[in-house]
Amino acid sequence: MQETFTIATNSREGLYDITDEVAAIVSRSGIVQGIVNVYVRGATAGIMIQENWDDSVQTDVIQLLRKLIPRGVWLHDAQDGNGDSHLKAGITGPQETIPIMNGTMGLSTWQNIFLCEFDGPRRNREIIVTIT
């Protein structure tokens, strides 16, 4: 089974919680045991599993990546000014795979699935959810 959904992002960089959307797709699938893969299309975004309780963790992720990969110093910036976005997306990666256990995702209490935006804002970030 495969479904696609889109979300809008409202800042250049940020983490957006997409857990509820993915959980709804898993529920509709009727799969009791398996895996769900969450993949974002685009070379300047990523998918990450991270803590969901304290927003400071999500802010810390963005702050760390800004320190590691500053803006405006990369060869690709001569093309369209987003060299850092491509590098950040490459580090985080475009996908995560989560086990399905007893019909629900096997995330722990403090884990959620986040879209990582590195080149926003965007009207439509496309996320593909594949369930096996």
Distance CA 20, CA 43 (A): 24
| Cβ–Cβ < 8 Å for 107, 26 | no
Q: What is the pLDDT of residue 125?
A: 98
DSSP summary character for residue 70: -
Query: What DSSP element (H or E) covers 16?
Result: strand 14-17
pLDDT tens for each residue of 52-107: 888 899 999 999 999 999 999 999 989 999 999 999 999 999 999 999 999 999 99
pLDDT above 90 for 108: yes
Q: Does domain 2-131 have CATH number 2.60.120.460?
A: yes
Domain extents in the chain:
2-131
Going by C-alpha positions, the residue among 126, 130, 128 that lies closest to residue 9 is 126
pLDDT tens for each residue of 21-38: 999 999 999 999 999 999
Q: What is the pLDDT of residue 54?
A: 87
- Report the predicted TM-score, pTM, of the whole model to 2 decimal places: 0.95
